């Protein structure tokens, strides 16, 4: 007799669709990109100024370079210029460089650890956001 549960369920589904729509959440992608670029750039500057260890400089430079390549490839794939999967190897290389850099400095240089963890968290948040919007 009453259609209140059906109406409430429909409203919940509509709210979920609005919250997880690309139209609402698209500003998060450039924001996450900016966070990663700032963290990795800051980490590279920190390593060059403080550590001056060649391996650490190369790891941070590789992480930043690979991420910039991943970002350019992702933007090109959004425009249809290349395949949507081209940016994934660059992103994985970035995460590998960050993981190795974290392994090398864990417990010794806290600011560098925080910058790398922040960059990695933003990369993982971007990945999670892609999967949430794709469902």
The tens digit of pLDDT for each residue in 15-35 reads 555 566 666 677 888 899 999
With respect to residue 21, please indicate whether it lies within any of the assigned structural domains: no
Cα dihedral angle (38, 43, 49, 53), rounded to 10 degrees? -150
- Please tell me the distance from the alpha carbon of residue 95 to that of residue 87, in angstroms, as a whole number: 13
Across 5-13, average pLDDT: 55
pLDDT of amino acid 130: 79
Domain holding 121, by residue range, is 27-134
The number of distinct structural domains making up the chain is 1
Cα 26 to its chain centre, rounded Å, is 14
With respect to residue 11, please indicate whether it lies within any of the assigned structural domains: no
pLDDT digits (tens, 9 = 90+) for 115-124: 999 999 999 9
> For residues 119 and 40, is the Cβ–Cβ distance under 8 A?
yes
With respect to residue 73, please indicate whether it lies within any of the assigned structural domains: yes
With respect to residue 109, please indicate whether it lies within any of the assigned structural domains: yes
pLDDT of amino acid 21: 65
> For residues 106 and 113, is the Cβ–Cβ distance under 8 A?
yes
């Amino acid at each position: 007799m009453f259609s209140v549960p059906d109406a409430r369920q429909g409203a919940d589904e509509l709210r979920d669709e609005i919250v997880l729509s690309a139209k609402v959440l698209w500003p998060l992608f450039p924001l996450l990109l900016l966070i990663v670029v700032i963290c990795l750039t800051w980490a590279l500057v920190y390593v060059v100024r403080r550590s001056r260890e060649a391996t650490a400089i190369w790891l941070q430079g590789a992480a930043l370079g690979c991420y910039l390549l991943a970002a350019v490839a992702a933007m090109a794939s959004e425009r249809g210029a290349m395949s949507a999967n081209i940016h994934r190897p660059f992103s994985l290389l970035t995460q590998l460089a960050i993981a190795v850099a974290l392994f090398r400095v864990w417990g010794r240089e806290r600011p560098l650890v925080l910058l790398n963890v922040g960059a990695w968290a933003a990369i993982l948040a971007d990945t999670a956001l892609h999967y949430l919007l794709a469902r």
